[in-house]
Amino acid sequence: METLASNRSVQSLYSSVFSQNKDSGENKIEEIARDLSLVHQKLRAGDRVMITDDVFFEVLGPMAFNAEDDNDNSLVMKLKAFGRTFLFAGDMQFAGEAVLLRSGIDLDADVLKVGNHGNSDATSEQFAGAVSPEHAVISTDTTQDADSANERVLTALRGANVYITENFACGVLMTVQKDGAIHVSSPTLPKTAANIVVTGIDRDMQTVTIKNLGPDIDISGFVLLSQREGEVFIFPEGSWLKSGQSVAVSSRLGSDYLWPGKAKVWHQEKDDSALLFDRFGNFLSSGN
């Protein structure tokens, strides 16, 4: 959220009215919203979020607070667009599904974003039957999560067209036409001709350096990622890197680019790599 807010104009942060607090007693989402000065709207079952007159979200859940597993406090939302319905189940698991089923609420949807990445602890046969989707999307990578997409879940979704994101270049694109037709496609990432490499990280100075081995190039929107900590730097609009030029990005003043809001990005004792991507998300280089 911090990375998004520092690089994009975020009008509102939405979250469930139910969520677990930290050990300190403070709610993490409320803390993030306050620290980033974001408008924070808490949603509860029955609320509606309007996008246009014809497109809106209905909040179905969570209907109750689950103190045991915050996954079951996920927002569950139904998107309605041109007569079609999409059900986004978040990370909801069996307990949250059971609450919705007992409520008698209409769960039927044309498209289901399958809950909890298709793991075996979600998408019960009863829940899948109540939704009875025409299309189902499972967001997962089996190399990172071997239990997904679980065979039991796939069996529960029999009859639906099932799409697993790891089989797509950059996600599943579903377009709803005004006549209600759903078009499914696999978009591909554009590529830049960048030949830029990470030449190294100075952990004492908290600085990473990159060098352009190709012609002059606009690096606006290029991304540096700290692999261990997950910190992200996005080069601002108007950033150019000349042929043969090196630039440094640091969390300390005096560098070519300042990593905002961070006193420390790179771990000084454990392995930590810098990953460089172009503006479209294509991997370019790594270094440590």
Token reading at 69: 């597993």
pTM for the model stands at 0.83
- Top pLDDT among 242 and 264 is at 242
The string of pLDDT tens digits covering residues 158-179 is 999 999 999 998 899 999 999 9
Q: If residue 99 lies in a helix (H) or strand (E), which one and from where to where? A: helix 94-103
Token reading at 236: 């601002």
Token reading at 21: 């607090």
> What is the rounded average pLDDT of the residues 225-243?
90
Alpha-carbon distance of 112 to 136, in angstroms, equals: 5
Q: What is the mean pLDDT of the chain?
A: 93
Token reading at 244: 């043969």
Which domains does the chain possess? 44-185 (3.60.15.10), 196-287 (2.60.40.1260)
CA atoms within a 13 Å half-sphere pointing along the CA-CB vector of 233 = 27
Note whether 254 and 268 are within 8 A (CB). Answer: no
Token reading at 210: 């990159």
- The 3-state DSSP composition of the chain as helix, strand, coil percent (nearest 5) reads 15, 30, 50
The string of pLDDT tens digits covering residues 13-69 is 999 999 999 889 899 999 999 999 999 999 999 999 999 988 999 999 999 999 999
Note whether 201 and 220 are within 8 A (CB). Answer: no
**DSSP codes, 132-155:** --SEEEE---TTT-TT-S-HHHHH
The string of pLDDT tens digits covering residues 72-129 is 999 999 999 999 999 999 999 999 999 999 999 999 999 999 999 999 999 999 999 9
Contacts of residue 60, Cβ cutoff 8 Å, sequence gap at least 6 = 45, 76, 77, 78, 87, 100, 105, 107
Question: Could you tell me which of 86, 92, 96 has the C-alpha nearest to residue 118?
Answer: 92
The string of pLDDT tens digits covering residues 248-287 is 999 888 889 998 777 788 877 778 889 999 999 899 999 9
Question: What is the structure's pLDDT at 7?
Answer: 75
Note whether 42 and 17 are within 8 A (CB). Answer: yes
